[in-house]
Amino acid sequence: MRMRNKKMNYSGFTLLEMLVVLLIISVLILLFVPNLSKHKDGVDQKGNEAIIKIIETQTELYVMEKNQTPTVEQLVKEQYISQEQYEKYQASKK
């Protein structure tokens, strides 16, 4: 009988505490997501600049070796650049 009259103590978080934690997490997500997308754009731009520099360098090498100016397709055909580099170059021009 004595146990029935005793109030049970449950430890845990209240609903209000959980809502506060969710609010804090939501605010942090709202702050960081835009920064991540800006960072991705910067990385993409630097990657495109690097591909263009590779194409320019390989074109100069081709001119030095063959004494004529190639097209980008010729650079791919003669394996001065890879197909993947060519595709990224085409995408960066758009």
- What pLDDT score does 62 carry? 95
User: Virtual CA dihedral for 28, 31, 37, 39, nearest 10 degrees?
Assistant: -100
Distance of CA 12 to the CA centre of its chain: 39
Per-residue pLDDT of the chain (94 residues; tens, 9 = 90+): 455 556 667 777 888 999 999 999 999 999 888 887 788 888 888 999 999 999 999 999 999 999 999 999 999 999 999 999 999 999 887 7
Residues whose CB falls within 8 Å of the CB of residue 55, separated by 6 or more in sequence, listed in order: 72, 75, 81, 85, 89
Domain range annotation of the chain: 17-93
Give pLDDT, residue 37. Answer: 78
